[in-house]
């Protein structure tokens, strides 16, 4: 059973100012009908005792706790720098001229 017609797809496309080829209109009509049939199938499920959830799967935080660690030595950090000054900083071209 068709839930959405080709004419309705063309009407929505016109409202959205979209242009489709005939093949695209046929494909969208078929795809939208499949989606709407699936929605009807979902409506048949008894969800009375199902608690609402935010995610379909249980999720846990996989982030580690923050902890203090030693940082990368300055010479290692600057090893591939194209230019650096004698104080151990990156040297970059001036962007704003005074």
Kindly tell me the burial class for residue 19, based on how many C-beta atoms sit within 10 Å of its own C-beta (0-12, 13-18, 19 or more). Answer: exposed
Coil, strand, or helix at residue 25?
helix
Q: How far apart are CA 20 and CA 62, in angstroms?
A: 44
- Find the domain containing 19 and state its range: 6-43
CATH of the domain at 11: 1.10.20
User: pLDDT by residue (tens digit) across 15-49?
Assistant: 999 999 999 999 999 999 999 999 999 899 888 88
Q: Would residue 17 count as lying in a domain?
A: yes
Average pLDDT for 73-93: 87
Q: Would residue 61 count as lying in a domain?
A: no
Q: What is the pLDDT of residue 51?
A: 81
Q: Would residue 49 count as lying in a domain?
A: no
Q: Are 43 and 18 in contact (CB under 8 A)?
A: no
Q: Is pLDDT of 12 > 90?
A: yes
Q: For residues 48-82, b (16+ Cβ closer than 10 Å) or e, as one string? A: eeeeeeeeeeeeeeeeeeeeeeeeeeeeeeeeeee
Q: Decide: pTM greater than 0.85.
A: no
Q: What is the pLDDT of residue 60?
A: 81
Q: Is pLDDT of 75 > 90?
A: no
Q: Would residue 25 count as lying in a domain?
A: yes
Q: What is the pLDDT of residue 98?
A: 65
- Nearest one of 30, 25, 27, 31 to 10, comparing CA atoms: 25
Q: Would residue 36 count as lying in a domain?
A: yes
Number of domains observed in the structure of the chain: 1
Q: What is the pLDDT of residue 23?
A: 97
Q: Would residue 15 count as lying in a domain?
A: yes
């Amino acid at each position: 059973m068709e839930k959405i017609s080709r004419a309705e797809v063309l009407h929505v496309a016109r409202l959205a100012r979209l242009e489709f080829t005939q093949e695209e209109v046929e494909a969208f009509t078929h795809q939208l009908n499949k989606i709407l049939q699936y929605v009807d199938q979902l409506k048949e499920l008894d969800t009375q005792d199902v608690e609402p959830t935010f995610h379909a799967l249980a999720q846990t935080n996989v982030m580690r706790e923050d902890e203090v660690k030693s940082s990368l030595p300055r010479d290692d950090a600057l090893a591939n720098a194209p230019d650096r000054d004698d104080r151990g900083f990156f040297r970059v071209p001036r962007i704003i001229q005074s």
